[in-house]
């Protein structure tokens, strides 16, 4: 077992799955990317809350609730996906294997398209 991994607590050694310590710049870049996804997640959560709380006069209740739920679910899924991606990238860096596909980006694109589509349909009907 690599000496740098042996010094880690058992939990982090189990999560990271062995390998060698990568260049700290890559680990820190991975962390910055994780935090960017978390900021995006928080924006979706805030947007979902704002839609439900402040658009009572703009949207009928079923549409308002549906749009808020879509935004809130996107926020939750992006947050969980960010954590999953951080671990996957960190493991790849340690094992010197190809990076995993970014599955969060299509989720964000599809979810954003659904929310935008709902707004376009509403605007066209009014």
pLDDT digit string (tens) for 66-115?
Answer: 889 989 999 999 999 999 999 999 999 999 999 998 888 888 888 888 88
Q: What does the pLDDT look like over 29-57, one tens digit per residue?
A: 999 999 999 999 999 999 999 999 998 88
Q: Where are the domains of the chain?
A: 27-125
pLDDT of residue 123: 80
Q: pLDDT band for position 7 (50/70/90)?
A: low
Cα separation of 118 and 69, whole Å?
A: 12
What integer pLDDT is reported at residue 84 of this predicted model?
A: 94
Residue 67 and residue 119 in contact, taking contact as beta carbons nearer than 8 Å? yes
Q: Over the stretch 10-33, which tens digit does the pLDDT of each residue have?
A: 777 777 877 888 899 999 999 999
- 50 φ/ψ angles, rounded to the nearest 5 degrees: -65, -40
pLDDT-derived band at 5 (thresholds 50, 70, 90) equals very low
For residue 125, pLDDT over 50 is answered with: yes
CB 78 within 8 A of CB 48: no
Contact in structure between 95 and 106 (CB atoms under 8 Å)? no
In this prediction the pTM is 0.78
- Residue 100 Cα distances to 96, 104, 120, angstroms: 12, 11, 34
């Amino acid at each position: 077992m690599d000496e740098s991994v042996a010094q880690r607590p058992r939990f982090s050694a189990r999560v990271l799955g062995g390998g060698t310590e990568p260049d700290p710049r890559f680990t820190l870049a991975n962390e910055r990317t994780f935090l960017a996804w978390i900021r995006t997640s928080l924006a979706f959560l805030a947007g979902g809350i704002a839609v439900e709380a402040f658009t009572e006069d703009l949207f009928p209740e079923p549409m308002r609730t549906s749009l808020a739920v879509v935004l809130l679910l996107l926020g939750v899924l992006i947050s969980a996906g960010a954590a999953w991606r951080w671990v996957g990238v960190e493991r790849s860096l340690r094992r010197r294997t190809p990076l995993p596909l970014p599955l969060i980006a299509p989720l964000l694109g599809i979810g954003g398209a659904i929310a935008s589509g709902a707004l376009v349909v509403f605007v066209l009907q009014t």
